[in-house]
């Protein structure tokens, strides 16, 4: 009997040991190993070193964000969430739809102990559904307006002269830059059409209103589209055919003196080593003058209903991406990931001058800018609208009247949204 009791005790100890080991482990699905992967590894190392030496984070790499979306769709459609990781990385522009469509797939983070006031309201607006927080921000999508200060100086301008200007003034300066240097002041991926959305957000306006597309009759959007077409005609804006043309041909082949996009564009800019020290950033021009702020892209981490240890997941996210300077510093240094937490971005790493940007402390500046980005109405048809607005721009450049082109875009979008 004694031997049986001892054997049972040993078996129980072994079982508890295995359970304890399993309890210290989390899995997370993500994409882009050099970017998101390095940020996640930085967080895991930080948590393991400073909170729990037994902690382990298993990284599940997929080829792109669509793989995560497809896995959630499959799980939600079948009602079987057993194949989902404990945590998934999800694009900000898509999460509202997926939480609404598959509410059983997610756990909210209301009791995670995160100081949500330490993040920009616009960034959090994507991951708040029904008044509850579901996601912890990872990468900061705040847009930068970057200029080649050496080229501006050739034309008699400084970076300070570009702060708070109107888009009409930008066009005027762009004409001078092209005339004197042969460079455009801006470029855009004609297949992605980032600029209209960001320019509208800097105005505090959206391309949607009350759940519907708001294209025809949208006074500010009409002004912006007219302005962009004028920029193309005046060689102030290069409208590239696709993403490769935008990044490789206009930016990396040194065809532009300005870059306006989410700050994730910085690694692309940095590929041109000869331009180190020649760039600086400031706020975005606006239609009537004043400093504009916008964002483009970004993602957050979400705990799924399949999580084996929700409390551990919440503690891990709250400690790391919820505000740890160590996580933020290492994610930036190793992966180029600029975080979103205002207090964590006050570290020496974030506040240091960046040689590529002429010694400007751009990382802390970007996080600060992110706190001013206005919340505008979002919609699941975000990318569809961008496609049809891009088509309208091409039609206008080919001779169509602005109002007629936007009306056609409105009708096409309305049809797509009704299907």
Say if CB 183 and CB 234 are below 8 A apart: no
* Angular region, 137: left φ>0, alpha ψ -120 to 50, beta rest: beta
Terminal-to-terminal C-alpha distance of the chain: 71
Which superfamily, per CATH, for 143-294+374-418? Answer: Periplasmic binding protein-like II (3.40.190.10)
List per-residue pLDDT tens for the chain, 419 residues long. 454 444 444 444 444 444 444 558 999 999 999 999 999 999 999 999 999 999 999 999 999 999 999 999 999 999 999 999 999 999 998 899 899 999 999 999 999 999 999 999 999 999 999 999 999 999 999 999 999 999 999 999 999 999 999 999 999 999 999 999 999 999 999 988 999 999 999 999 999 999 999 999 999 999 999 999 999 999 999 999 999 999 999 999 999 999 999 999 998 999 999 999 999 999 999 999 999 999 998 999 999 999 999 999 999 999 999 999 999 999 999 999 999 999 999 999 999 999 999 999 999 999 999 999 999 999 989 989 999 999 999 999 999 999 999 999 999 999 999 98
Neighbours of 243 (CB within 10 A): 12
Do 143-294+374-418 and 16-141+297-346 fall under one CATH topology? yes
For helices 219-233 and 167-181, what crossing angle results, to 10°? 10
Note the pLDDT of residue 243.
92
Q: Considering only CA atoms, give the Rg of the chain.
A: 24
Residues 296 and 198: beta-carbon distance below 8 Å: yes
SS (H, E, C) 246-278: HHHHHHCCCCECEEEEEHHHHHHHHCCHHHCCC
- CA nearest neighbour of 263 among 231, 237, 293, 221: 293
Q: In terms of DSSP bridges, do strands 299-303 and 87-91 run parallel, antiparallel, or are they unpaired?
A: antiparallel
Domain boundaries, the chain: 16-141+297-346, 143-294+374-418
Spatial distance between the Cα atoms of 369 and 363, rounded to a whole number of angstroms: 10
Per-residue confidence (pLDDT) for residue 59, from 0 to 100: 98
Closest to 337 in 3D by CA, of 50, 194, 139, 100: 139
User: For the chain, what's the residue count?
Assistant: 419
Cβ atoms of residues 181 and 155 within 8 Å: yes
Angle between helices 65-78 and 92-101 (to 10 degrees): 0
Residues 6+ apart with CB under 8 A from 36: 30, 89, 138, 139, 299, 335, 337
- 256: DSSP letter: B
**Residues 379, 385 contacting (CB under 8 angstroms):** yes
Residue 144 tokens read as 């930068």
Distance CA 83, CA 169 (A): 54
The CATH number of 16-141+297-346 is which of 1.10.287.130, 3.40.190.10, 3.40.50.2300, 1.10.3720.10? Answer: 3.40.190.10
pTM for the predicted model, two decimal places? 0.88
Q: Which positions ≥6 away from 128 have C-beta within 8 Å?
A: 134
C-beta separation of 83 from 75 below 8 A? yes
Residue listed under structure tokens 């500010």? 220
- How distant is the alpha carbon of residue 108 from its chain centre? 21
């Amino acid at each position: 009997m004694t031997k049986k009791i001892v054997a049972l005790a040993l078996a129980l100890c072994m079982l508890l040991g295995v359970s304890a080991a399993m309890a210290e482990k989390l899995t997370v699905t993500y994409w882009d190993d050099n970017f998101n992967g390095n940020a996640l590894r930085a967080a895991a190392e930080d948590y393991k070193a400073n909170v729990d030496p037994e902690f382990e984070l298993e990284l599940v790499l997929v080829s792109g964000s669509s793989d995560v979306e497809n896995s959630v769709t499959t799980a939600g459609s079948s009602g079987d969430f057993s194949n989902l990781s404990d945590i998934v990385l999800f694009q900000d522009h898509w999460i509202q739809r997926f939480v609404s469509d598959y509410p059983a797939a997610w756990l909210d983070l209301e009791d995670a102990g995160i100081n949500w006031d330490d993040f920009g309201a616009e960034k959090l607006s994507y991951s708040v559904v029904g008044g509850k927080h579901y996601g912890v921000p990872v990468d900061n999508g705040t847009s930068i307006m970057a200029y080649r200060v050496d080229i501006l100086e050739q034309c008699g301008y400084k970076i300070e002269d570009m702060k708070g200007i109107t888009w009409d003034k930008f066009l005027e300066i762009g004409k001078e830059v092209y005339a004197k240097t042969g460079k455009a002041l801006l470029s855009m991926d004609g297949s992605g059409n980032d600029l209209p959305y960001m320019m509208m957000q800097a105005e505090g306006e959206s391309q949607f209103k009350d759940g519907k597309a708001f294209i025809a009759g949208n006074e500010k959007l009409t002004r912006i589209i007219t302005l962009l077409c004028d920029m193309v005609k005046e060689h102030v804006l290069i409208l590239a055919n696709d993403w490769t043309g935008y990044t490789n041909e206009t930016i990396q082949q040194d065809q532009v003196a300005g870059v306006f996009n989410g700050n994730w564009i910085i690694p692309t800019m940095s590929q041109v080593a000869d331009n180190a020290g020649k760039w600086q950033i400031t706020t975005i021009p606006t239609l009537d003058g004043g400093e504009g702020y916008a964002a483009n892209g970004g993602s957050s981490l979400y705990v799924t209903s399949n999580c084996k240890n929700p409390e551990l997941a919440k503690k891990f996210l709250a400690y790391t991406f919820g505000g740890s300077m160590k996580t933020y510093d290492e994610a930036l240094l190793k992966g180029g990931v600029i975080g979103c937490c205002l207090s964590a971005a006050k570290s020496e790493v974030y506040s240091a001058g960046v040689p590529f940007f002429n010694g400007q402390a751009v990382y802390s500046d970007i996080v600060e800018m992110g706190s001013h980005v206005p919340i505008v109405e979002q919609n699941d048809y975000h990318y569809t609208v961008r496609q049809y607005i891009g088509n309208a721009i091409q039609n206008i450049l080919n001779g169509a009247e602005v109002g007629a082109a936007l009306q056609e875009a409105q009708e096409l979008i309305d049809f797509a949204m009704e299907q």
